[in-house]
Amino acid sequence: MSADETDAKPAPAAPPPRGPFAGMGGAPPQKAKAFKSSALRLIGQLAPERAGVLAVIGLSVASVTLGINGPRVMGHATDLIFGSVMAGRAIDFAALATVLLTLIVLYLGASGFAWAQGALLNVIVQRTVRRLRANVEDKLNQLPLAYFDGQQRGELLSRVTNDIDNVAQGLQQSLSQILNALLNLVGILIMFFVLSPLLALISLVSVPLSIVVTAKIAGRAQKRFVAQWKHVGMLNGQVEEAFTGHSLVKVFGQQRAVEARFAAKNEELYEAGFRAQLISSVIMPAITFIGNLTYVAIAVIGGLRVASGAMQLGSVQAFIQYSRQFSQQLGQMASMASVLQSGVASAERVFELLDAPDQALDVDPPVALARPVRGEVVFEHVDFRYKPEQPLITDLSLVARPGQTVAIVGPTGAGKTTLVNLLMRFYELDGGRILLDGVDIAKLPRAELRGNIGMVLQDTWLFGGTIRANLAYGNLAATEEDILAAARATYVDRFVQHLPAGYDTVLDDDGNNVSSGEKQLLTIARAFLMDPAILILDEATSSVDTRTEVLVQQAMAALRADRTSFVIAHRLSTIRDADLILVLDAGRIVEQGTHTELLARAGAYHALYHAQFAPTHHAS
């Protein structure tokens, strides 16, 4: 598609405030609501793993139950020693050994259950992320072409790779630690009230204060994490764009400009990431400070109660240990807030992709084409526009008879490529209809429609694999004889025979280990092998030399026999023998006829033809 025919990109948003400390205000309500929705939806991804999740919770409860009794048992050991010393009697080392052995068993059991919980949770998270990746892949195949027109490839790839990996990391790190922290908090609260209701109430003062502090700071950090991963996608898009056109960047000497753009985007990513981490890093020190205040209060009041005989020293010792653990668990939950926020921010970007509107569904029940397909194509009063306010094709009608070769010419942006894109149903019509053998293509399943159309584009596409696999891409049932016949017909066999591995030569992702002309020959051979009822050639010989072009033209003439062909051409010498030539301008057919008829009319085609072949006069 020409640049003239694509949607205009929206104006870039105003740049964010500069400097790492800029814009540290709280998240607006709609952002907080979006975060909560994305977080719940992310947790919902674990639904197919219900049994495993329940097992993880059970293992966590077992681990926490054993571990939470450690300080209390240790308090018994302290009471044995302190009580014996205060009473002036010998220490009962047998009883002390029993207590210590019990302590060892408790901690070993807690560690074993914790290991099993971590291993099972890892399996659950990896399965969940695998399903999420599969859902994203399915979604990409369901999205309309218009969606990809408005997306940077690097930004899209970042959502599919970086963001999903970050979701996996967030789930892996946060779920286990938050679950254990919550269970530990519950267990410690129970122990608090068992040991001393008064000290328990003093300790509980820190809970609402810690929650408020965490919520306030986390609310400010969340939008920074969203911005961070947005900038990661934008930076990836820019890097992908620069590396794809790396040779052109060097040809035009734009390395400094590319480096400057990268530096600017990298700085924006740095600032977003710095602010996110800076704000979230305040949580742990704040929780620790609150915990220390509580610890001091418990130590002072607990010491007074021991002195008054209201509590035993071992109980106060256990309570202080529980108090420390309580603060640690609150701090751990707070520290996980940044990891969870980052993961939810990435999940939000992935869910935006998953929520994008799918292409229109095929009509149910579908209409089938009669066999064999004759290849008659009729455009009836077709209207189409990429943007509502900018019509491109208006009231276009044409008839392509079975077996005819229809050439489409015209200036850049006239709608030539758009015309065949509409025939392929890459886009839906705004008005009118297109008929294939009398059947409205909007009622045909896309797979059946496209299965009868072979397309060779000006921009070649080959994938990483052997030449044989690339040729058979359009017809996986093709035999070796079919592949060789198509290769010989399109003169692919001529250069493949000179390759060391022949048809087993492995092409890289962009096919850069063969020339541009050879890549185009391979795509033409692929269309040959498909043996379609309708053939679309979009400037299919633009990258081959003059001699090869003559050979390919002969091969394409044989291919076009007995099938309807649409040929988009800029070199008018290649379409002189077309049965019908359509001259498009601003989405309308301004002339149609054969080469001889159009030249005789001395109209638009005549002007195009002579502009291309007029002799060039040089000043003497």
CA triplet 287, 291, 296: central angle to 5 degrees? 155
pLDDT tens-digit map of 408-421: 988 877 888 888 88
Q: How many helices (H) and strands (E) does the chain have?
A: 22, 12
Query: Taking the CB of residue 325, how many other CB atoms lie within 10 A of it?
Result: 20
| Sequence-separated (6 or more) residues with CB below 8 Å from residue 230 | 272, 349
**What percentage of the chain has pLDDT greater than the value 90?**
10
- pTM summary value: 0.67
pLDDT tens-digit map of 437-471: 999 999 898 888 988 888 888 777 888 889 999 89
Is residue 6 pLDDT above 80, yes or no?
no
CA distance 41 to 184: 26
Question: What residues pair up with 453 in beta bridges, in sequence order?
Answer: 534
CA distance 291 to 205: 10
Residue with tokens 């004759």: 374
Split at pLDDT 50, 70, 90, the class of 558 is low
pLDDT tens-digit map of 129-157: 999 999 998 998 888 888 888 787 778 88
585 three-class SS: strand
| Sequence-separated (6 or more) residues with CB below 8 Å from residue 258 | 242, 249
pLDDT at 108: 92
φ and ψ of 453, to 5 deg: -125, 125
pLDDT tens-digit map of 167-202: 888 888 888 888 888 888 888 888 878 877 888 787
| In contact, 587 and 396? CB cutoff 8 Å | yes
Counted residue by residue, the chain has a size of 620
pLDDT tens-digit map of 274-308: 877 777 777 777 777 877 777 777 778 777 777 77
User: Which strands make up the sheet holding 393-400, listed edge to edge?
Assistant: 393-400, 377-384, 431-436, 439-440
Structure-model confidence comparison of residues 572 and 614, the more confident one: 572
- Of 394, 353, 301, give the one whose Cα is nearest residue 151: 353
CA distance 429 to 413: 18
Residue with tokens 């030249």: 599
**How high is the mean pLDDT of the chain?**
80
Q: How far apart are the first and last CA of the chain?
A: 41
Is residue 160 pLDDT above 80, yes or no?
yes
Domains and CATH numbers, the chain: 38-354 (1.20.1560.10), 373-452+535-542+564-614 (3.40.50.300)
pLDDT at 431: 92
**Buried residues in 140-149 as b, exposed as e (16+ CB within 10 A):** eeebbeebee
**Buried residues in 210-222 as b, exposed as e (16+ CB within 10 A):** beebbeebbbbbb
CA distances from 556 to 573, 582, 596 (A): 14, 19, 21
Structure-model confidence comparison of residues 134 and 562, the more confident one: 134
pLDDT tens-digit map of 589-610: 888 899 989 899 888 888 888 8
pLDDT at 135: 92
pLDDT at 34: 63
